Copies of this chain bind each other. A is one copy, B any other.
Amino acid sequence: MSGFRHVVLIEWAEGTTTSQQEEAAARLAELPGLIPEIRSYSVGGDAGIDEGNADFVIVGEFADQAAYETYRDHPAHRAVVGEYIRPFLARRAAIQYEL
């Protein structure tokens, strides 16, 4: 199935509480209901089986690059990132690629 995927791996800053992490996940999970360009959206915490992993992941799928850019620039997405992720962020790695 063709499409466009956006992947983000996050390491939380030291001291970020479990409830702050859960709040971020909950807010992100609301975005598919607010941004119709999201075709599928999956967030989760590391399963804890391999050493040195990131803490949290976001995988979003879109019909194409333009749909991803609408999501990326959408006020609802920017608000969640600004309020629930960026303040608690130690490290972030991301990519977008054609499926």
Q: Chain A interface (Cβ within 8 Å of chain B)? A: 4-5, 7, 9, 42, 44-47, 49-50, 52-57, 59, 65, 69, 72, 91, 93-99
Residue in chain B with minimal CB distance to A46: B95
CA distance A47 to B3 in the complex (A): 12
| Contact A47 B96, beta carbon cutoff 8 Å | yes
Residues of B within 8 A of A55 (CB): 95
Contacts of A46 in B (CB 8 A): 95-97
A15 to B67, CA, bound (A): 33
Among B42, B49, B95, contact of A99 (Cβ-Cβ < 8 Å): B42
Cα distance, A96 to B91, chains bound together (Å): 17
